[in-house]
Amino acid sequence: DTAVSQTPKYLVTQMGNDKSIKCEQNLGHDTMYWYKQDSKKFLKIMFSYNNKELIINETVPNRFSPKSPDKAHLNLHINSLELGDSAVYFCASSQVGGRALDTQYFGPGTRLTVL
């Protein structure tokens, strides 16, 4: 039974389109995250939600909008996709209120390719 799942696994789309990525965790965790991993494997945090409240909002274009309908789900919507958005997007979750010492569990990633 998958702990952190993401859909879709692969997403190929044209520049200018709008797309969404979904994430679900069945670990009962309070905090969820979105990360972006570029082609050089550099993993950078984008957003974090704790109990549906946004607690980390890094310098990310406002074309990216996270939404957390409940604490088990965190979605990422991207408007007006650009070539530079091509990357692997990882969702993660951790148990308590977003402390650095809490283990973060990562999903399998969504590989986004913008043509």
Partner 1 sequence: QKEVEQDPGPLSVPEGAIVSLNCTYSNSAFQYFMWYRQYSRKGPELLMYTYSSGNKEDGRFTAQVDKSSKYISLFIRDSQPSDSATYLCAMGAGGTSYGKLTFGQGTILTVHP
Distance in angstroms (rounded) separating the CA atoms of residues 2 and 6: 10
Of 14, 42, 69, 84, the one binding partner 1 (CB under 8 A) is 42
Which of 22, 52, 56, 67 binds partner 1 (CB under 8 A)? It is: 56
Residues 13, 78 contacting (CB under 8 angstroms):
no
Residue 5 interacting with partner 1 (CB under 8 A): no
Q: Is 25 in the site for partner 1 (CB under 8 A)?
A: no
Stretch of 18-26, 61-69, 73-81, 95-103 lying at the interface with partner 1 (CB under 8 A): 95-103
- Give how far Cα 84 sits from Cα of 11, 20, 38, 58, Å: 14, 16, 9, 17
Based on the shown chain and the rule CB under 8 A, indicate whether residue 98 belongs to the binding site for partner 1: yes
Please report how close the Cβ of residue 16 comes to partner 1 at its closest, in angstroms: 28
- Report d(CA 79, CA 48) in Å as an integer: 19
The site for partner 1, by CB under 8 A, has a size of 29
Residue closer to partner 1 by CB (options 29, 78) is 29
Q: Where are the beta strands (DSSP E) in the chain?
A: 4-7, 10-13, 19-25, 31-37, 43-50, 53-57, 64-70, 73-78, 87-94, 105-106, 110-114
Contacts to partner 1 by CB under 8 A:
4, 31, 33, 40-45, 48, 50, 55-56, 90, 92, 94, 97-109
